[in-house]
Amino acid sequence: MCKIRIIALALSVATVVALGCQSRTPPPIATPPSDPFIQEREQMVTVQLEGRDITNPEVLRAMRAVPRHKFVPEDQLPYAYADHPLPIGEGQTISQPYIVALMTQVVKVKPGDRVLEIGTGSGYQAAVLAELTDEVYTIEIIETLGRRAAERLRELGYSQVHTQIGDGYYGWEEYAPYNAIIVTCAPDHIPRPLVAQLEVEGRMVIPVGPPGAYQSLWLLEKQADGRVKRQNLGGVSFVPMTGAVQEAP
């Protein structure tokens, strides 16, 4: 589930002239196709991210590296790098680039970290995380979205992203604990299983609030004694979390 607010090497073909022989042209060298969205992606980073409060150089690098246009439906391609969320089907959205960068920045992902994402959606957030560490786990409750995202991530070479169809309320206990958890859908309370699966000094960012209303984006950090330090990062609007959260206290 998702959420809120969506580089050419010019090879010159030289003529080889052999001494005493006629010149000949070598076979053409295949050049990689240019990225038609490179300028849009750079503008996204400089205006939407650097122009605000995204300062972590690794997060900025990751946002430059991931081809966001590969994670949106074809009819949304003209808006792939726009400063707002975009529909991806099944009533879900790909988050606004700024929100993706903000959530990634605040959990402070480092190489070697194990990261859990709740709400795979299009797979974009997972791809950004995979640019920062080699162990990303992501869960999607809507099967069609989850399978589509898994295929897209494989096609783009993000083999370090492990996907699962399931209820993210319960996390992914098999690979816990996690150094960072990013939740991209909004429950009306903080799921206890996710807190339990957070490593000591680990960080979780999660929108919390009632369905159909604005939520608060919370940053949680687990202390050595098991207590959780909380910081309110401000108002956001995510799609609601579904599944067991609707019955849980």
* Contacts of residue 247, Cβ cutoff 8 Å, sequence gap at least 6: none
Question: Among 167, 160, 132, which Cα is nearest to 146's?
Answer: 167
Tell me, yes or no, if 95 is annotated catalytic. yes
Q: Is beta strand 161-165 parallel, antiparallel or unpaired with respect to 86-89? A: unpaired
CA 6 from centre of chain:
11
Residue among 12, 23, 34, 95 flagged as catalytic:
95
Could you give the CA distance from residue 207 to residue 210 in angstroms, rounded to a whole number?
10
* Contacts of residue 176, Cβ cutoff 8 Å, sequence gap at least 6: 116, 196, 197
CB 233 within 8 A of CB 132: no
Would you please indicate which residues are annotated as catalytic (active-site) residues? 95
